[in-house]
Amino acid sequence: MPPAAGYNTLMSTAEKILLAPQEYLARERKAEFKSGFYRGEMFAMAGATWEHTLVKDNTCQEAGQQLKGGPYRVVTSDLRELVDKTGLYTYPDIIVVCDEPQFEDKMFDTLLNPRVLMEVLFESTKGYDRGDKFAHYRKIPSLQEYIVIAKDEPYVERHVRQPKGDWLMTEIHGLEHTLTFTSIPVKIALADIYRGVKFPDQPAR
């Protein structure tokens, strides 16, 4: 699967230099900015905007407060995720972990077993987040829910793994509605997700 549109390759395509995963990790752990990795190439992650950050932080805070004291932990995009079956390293906007977290190595910075992953959409990467990236995420055995959140209108997509392995998508649209998770005991009003966000006159998904 090709990298997302909007991601900048850090390796010259002319040189055709491919890195092993451990080489990527060694570089990434020393880098000043975050990069994903797939099939030997590193890709700079898209920079945050004000609205993107508000939506991400609002959602993380609401979920964290409701899960406080339980077996769940909610973290944001500082933690790297590895899709072990495909070799994709990336930084989801929000990760929810249930019980004991599992890591790739003793650096404890690359998670293997999320229960829920959430992405706030960028215009340049929303096709990737809904398409190829979600295809990667579906390969994570522990993943039960994938949430996609627009930043320019009150709109959320909830994807839930079904008993036979397929995924059911539900759309939630409008500040008067609530995002109810199925795999964790969390309900968040869209009005709280978009607290402080000013919407454009002509939003588009």
Give the pLDDT confidence of 115-171 residue by residue, as tens digits: 999 999 988 788 899 999 999 999 999 999 999 999 999 999 999 999 999 999 999
This prediction has a pTM of: 0.89
How many distinct structural domains can be found in the chain?
A: 2
Residue 39: give the domain boundaries: 8-44
Alpha-carbon distance of 103 to 98, in angstroms, equals 13
Angle (nearest 5°) at CA 12 between 9 and 13: 90
- 131 in the same domain as 33: no
Alpha-carbon distance of 120 to 116, in angstroms, equals 14
CATH number at residue 147: 3.90.1570.10
Give the pLDDT confidence of 52-71 residue by residue, as tens digits: 999 999 999 999 999 999 99
- 54 in the same domain as 38: no
